[in-house]
Amino acid sequence: MSFTREVGRTTRVMLASVAAFPSVFRSRDSRRDFGVQLYKTGIGTLPVVTVVSLFTGMILALQVGLELRRFNQEIYLGAAVMITLIREMAPFSCGMCLAACVGSAIAAELGTMAVNDEIAALEIMSIPPIRFLAAPRLLALVVMAPVLAFFCCVVGTLGGGVVGATQLGVNFEQYMASAMSIADVKDLATGLAKAVVFGLVIGTVSVAQGLGTSLGATGVGRATQRSVIISFLLILMLGYMITRVCYQ
Amino acid sequence: MSLVVFENVKKQFSGRKVLDGLSFEIEKGEILALVGPSGTGKSVTLKHIVRLLEPDEGRVLVDGVDVSACSRRELEAIRSRVGYLFQSGALLAWMTVEENVALPLRECTGLSEDEIDRRVAAALDAVELADAADKYPAEISGGMQKRAGLARAIVRESDVILYDEPTSGLDPVTSITIHRLIKKLNRELGITSVVVTHDLQGALGFTDRLLLVKDGRAVECSAPAEFAASTNPVVREFLAAMKGEL
């Protein structure tokens, strides 16, 4: 019963936030907040996303390259790394980074506002928290997630190329040519669509957990923890479902 | 007709009764203090007036409108007339004092920026906070944060202001300043004020009536002099306890 209620509340938060997207550009304070959220989501997570995607590409290249070498097929290393990154790993690692860095921060920020009566103050002023707080954060995640996923893909592919060239004896130009030959529009579109869905899910879960916070500091901690766990689980499940729909 | 009417309001949380048939009325233009021991439902009472909470039973009427049964539009109309000062001030941390005060005007009215600036300046002047307009909440004291919250509550020219522990955590001098402000707003602008407070001495000095709430019920509602002289044993016990604390 409680689970059903929670799902219902989270769905309502998502629908109301998405419906409020146009209003983000109507008020001066919302526009400014949206700009801040874009910066926090995009530029703020760039260092973490860069390191995560670089090592993801490097690990992929090493693992796949070693196996390919057994069959003298190292020339396909670029294709293998690219296809894995563009379809799965780039949106996945980008989603994990966003859930850990941005989603947790949103849940903690809104949770603290809730226990400090700032959310109630907005309601009394007839300023809907969903429009004023949730929509700019959710929209920033939806906009920046595919951008970061694309960035992940580029950095990961380059990282894989460096490992291929330095440890597996694969020529970098050959690696890149192989990588570019396999990437097609459908893969790119699927990967970016996954990132958009992950951004929406992370934003929705974090906002719903944050706004529903009670019981002071303990409640804020719990909301933050739950937002990360639920986001991780949904990223995995939805990632599988989208892959199945698009590739099976 | 009374401005706010509580009719046999009952409210419980997780099986614990907080309001148990609370009934009282607030007259237009008066300052009413809600006093009583901690945990007796004073803040909960305040939240019912603007439907931050809804009663399990009974009704809360604001200007004749049943708050818990009214439409969203009616609720917004009621809320637009009511200012609420939370214990913490509830200012948004990423906005300056001036931006916090201007927020309800920018978001909910079609006023020009010049008019908004004029009203914000007047509200900040009224709470003697003009010098801190460009500061962020973290850069000012707790008392100043409460005054900034008060400026935000009056900037929409509300005719009712609800104060939730306006002097908690403040030193006596700042508390007196806040009491003076409440009185000034009431006298000069005719603002009806409902003040939840533990500061009984202060409340006896600046309010028109005191309502003692105990176990979720109204025990006594009278003018300060009558309240202090009440023979009601619950009031006597409360007064004695408060004197003991002092």
* pLDDT score recorded for residue B205: 82
Instruction: Provide the residue ranges of all domains of chain B, joining segments of one domain with +.
Output: 12-86+160-245
Most confident by average pLDDT, A137-146, B28-37, B200-209, B229-238: A137-146
Token output for B144: 């100043």
E-state strands within B63-108: 65-66, 82-85
Does A118 contact B at CB distance below 8 Å? yes
- Judged by CB atoms closer than 8 Å, whether chains meet at A126 and B84 is answered as no
pLDDT in tens, B70-125: 888 888 888 888 889 888 788 998 899 999 999 989 888 888 889 999 999 988 98
pLDDT of A103 > 80? The answer is yes
* pLDDT score recorded for residue B246: 46
Average pLDDT over residues A133-137: 93
Contacts of A116 in chain B (CB under 8 A): 88, 90
Nearest to B107 among A113, A124, A132 (CB): A132
Q: Please give the angle made by the CA atoms of A95, A226 and A36, to the nearest 5 degrees.
A: 55
> How far apart are the CA of B210 and the nearest CA of chain A, in angstroms?
25
| Measured distance CA(B173)–CA(B196) in Å, rounded | 19
Task: Tell me the average pLDDT of chain A.
Answer: 91
Contacts of B87 in chain A (CB under 8 A): 117
Reported as a pLDDT band with limits 50, 70 and 90, residue A136 is very high
Contacts of B104 in chain A (CB under 8 A): 125-127
- Judged by CB atoms closer than 8 Å, whether chains meet at B52 and A124 is answered as yes
Window 33-52 of A: residues touching B by CB (8 A cutoff) are 33, 36
Token output for A248: 């099976």
B197 close to B33: Cβ distance less than 8 angstroms: yes
Q: Quote the pTM value.
A: 0.84
Contacts of B52 in chain A (CB under 8 A): 120, 123-124
Residue of A nearest to B158 (CA): A125
Nearest to A121 among B80, B90, B95 (CB): B90
Reported as a pLDDT band with limits 50, 70 and 90, residue A101 is very high
Interface test with B, best of A34, A40, A124, A211 (most B CBs within 10 A): A124
- Judged by CB atoms closer than 8 Å, whether chains meet at B52 and A123 is answered as yes
Contacts of A127 in chain B (CB under 8 A): 103-104, 107-108
The DSSP bridge partners found for residue B107 are none
B240 close to B220: Cβ distance less than 8 angstroms: no
Residue of A nearest to B53 (CA): A120
> How far apart are the CA of A193 and the nearest CA of chain B, in angstroms?
33
| Measured distance CA(A190)–CA(A213) in Å, rounded | 34
Question: What strand order describes the sheet that includes B16-26?
Answer: B16-26, B4-13, B57-62, B65-66
Burial A26-36 (b: 16+ CB within 10 A, else e): ebebbeebbee
Contacts of B84 in chain A (CB under 8 A): 120-121, 124
pLDDT of A1 > 70? The answer is no
- Judged by CB atoms closer than 8 Å, whether chains meet at A116 and B88 is answered as yes
Nearest to B90 among A29, A33, A117 (CB): A117
Q: In the CATH scheme, what is the homologous superfamily, with its name and number, of domain B12-86+160-245?
A: P-loop containing nucleotide triphosphate hydrolases (3.40.50.300)
Count of CB pairs separated by less than 8 Å, A with B: 54
> How far apart are the CA of B62 and the nearest CA of chain A, in angstroms?
15
Percent of chain A with pLDDT over 90: 67
Contacts of A28 in chain B (CB under 8 A): 106
Token output for B149: 């919250």
* ipTM value: 0.82
pLDDT in tens, A75-86: 899 999 999 999
Nearest to A125 among B95, B99, B104 (CB): B104
Average pLDDT over residues B5-23: 88
Reported as a pLDDT band with limits 50, 70 and 90, residue B245 is low
Residue type, B152: R
